[in-house]
Amino acid sequence: MRLGPIYLFFALLLALSVWFLLDQESPETLILGDWEEIAWKYEKLDHGDVMDFDIDRLQKQEIIKNIIIHEAETWRFNPDGTLSFLEENEIKENLKWNIKGRGHILELHHKNNIVEDYQVVQVTKDELVVQFNSDLQVRGIVKMTFKRIPKKQYAQKI
Amino acid sequence: MLRKYSNYRSFSDNLKLGTLTAFSAGMVNVISVIVFFAFTSNVTGHYAILAQEIAKGNWYQGAVVLVWIFLFFAGNFTSNCLIIHNNTPTGRYIAHAIPVFLEMACLMFVGIYLQYFYTESLKETEFLVAAMLFAMGLQNGLTASISNSKVKTTHLTGLTTDLGVVFSMFTKKEFRNDKKLIQKAQLLLGIMFSYMAGGIISGLLYYKIENATFIVIGMVLGAVLLYDYSKLQVTRFVQRRRSSFQRRYSLYDKKA
């Protein structure tokens, strides 16, 4: 059996992976900046008869009561590892954030030592989608979608 | 546990090696999930995730997972290389002990780094998970290689398959008293329960002693190394005594 082509294939694959790691932006850098909450939806539900996957304002408030995050318009991820929740341009809370796993877990450390984990479904230059489990009313996975606020626009807003 | 090779190994050798290393693998896997949100004792899930990330076009995450899989492969490769290139009766214990020692070193490095240097950045997380996967590859390569693939302790997919097969054999009366099959079932169950116990204990310990849990894992691996080392010392002591006794006895014979 000729082993040369096999070794070459795997060496190339490894080199390609290393190149991707060096060339592509990691989720940790992509997430930096200001993000505006645009939608809350149920991703999955274990209630077959529930037709609507959209989460209305009342449901949202009910869910928020049972998790630590505050209802905020804007999430600001700072490079120093702090996350600020802003509402009407005022900081409501500051906490620590970090990304774990292969870049798929967003961990938020609150000041009272409580840690919350969100699954990062997607993080691109324009969009951030995170999920968390909710056990309220109906058990399901809640999907939060954010849109990036361009730096200029945010400065103008302030 | 480590001195014997291939078919020269007894059921007891495999059981001791299997249960102790499975215990440490269970500990490593659970602690890595708690600290890093990534499995480190198996790669089946990583292959599925790799495919998923490629399908989603998440090239960065895909590359991370591919490098992790490679590190597990590298661990197995290194382990078996050390074994097959040093397979002499005198150097066998050393050849089999080096992968365990390297595994210990990797895990201790992760523990020390977590305790004193970890800033919870993604790069560090990726690197430390890679080190743990390499360590688990070393262990899996060692146990599989020296036991003729009878003992695999870092993942339970194959083991659960084998258990299903063995227990289905027991549905036929003629196999119920088959000593080999009974021993196989005992070995597989031993590994399974040990892996579970390691995982549970690691989970409980981490919330009490945090990163010092890695010292406990090191101690389990140390027991694997020292058990055979002590046996070797006893064997050498007995051999020395026997040869000196024989020398004395032959001198006495000559005088007589």
- Residues of chain B contacting residue A26, judged by C-beta atoms under 8 Å apart: 60, 122-123
Domain assignment of residue A121, given as a range: 26-157
Give me the residue from B38, B59, B126 closest to A20, CB to CB: B59
| B66 in contact with A, Cβ within 8 Å | yes
pLDDT in tens, B26-80: 999 999 999 999 999 989 999 999 999 999 999 999 999 999 999 999 999 999 9
Residue A134 is part of a domain; what is its CATH number? 2.40.128.540
Nearest chain B Cα to A96, which residue?
A: B120
Q: Is residue A96 part of a domain?
A: yes
Domain count, chain B: 1
Tell me which amino acid residue A157 is: K
CA atoms lying within 13 Å on the CB side of residue B74: 17
| CB-CB under 8 Å, B60 with A21 | yes
Mean pLDDT computed over A51-60: 64
Of B162, B153, B161, B165, nearest in space to B197 by CA:
B153
| CB-CB under 8 Å, A24 with B122 | no
Out of B101-105, B112-116, B248-252, pick the least confident: B248-252
Q: Is residue A50 part of a domain?
A: yes
Give me chain B's average pLDDT, please: 91
Joined tokens for residue A94:
């500051």
| A129 in contact with B, Cβ within 8 Å | no
The model's confidence at residue B236, banded by pLDDT at 50, 70 and 90, is confident
Q: What share of residues in chain B are helix, strand, coil (percent, to 5)? A: 85, 0, 15
E strands, B95-200, in order: none
Q: Is residue A115 part of a domain?
A: yes
pLDDT of residue B227: 86
Q: Is residue B108 part of a domain?
A: yes
Higher pLDDT, A156 or B81: B81
Domain assignment of residue B101, given as a range: 6-255
Do the Cβ atoms of B154 and B40 come closer than 8 Å? no
Closest Cα in chain A, distance from residue B205 (Å): 19
| A18 in contact with B, Cβ within 8 Å | yes
Q: Is residue A118 part of a domain?
A: yes
User: Is A45 a residue whose pLDDT tops 80?
Assistant: no
Domain count, chain A: 1
| A115 in contact with B, Cβ within 8 Å | no
Q: Is residue B1 part of a domain?
A: no
Residue B115 is part of a domain; what is its CATH number? 1.20.1250
Asked whether this complex has an ipTM greater than 0.85, the answer is no
Q: How many Cβ atoms sit within 10 Å of the Cβ of residue A18?
A: 14
Higher pLDDT, B145 or A54: B145
Joined tokens for residue A128:
């951030």
Do the Cβ atoms of A119 and A101 come closer than 8 Å? no
Q: Is residue A33 part of a domain?
A: yes
Mean pLDDT computed over A24-40: 92
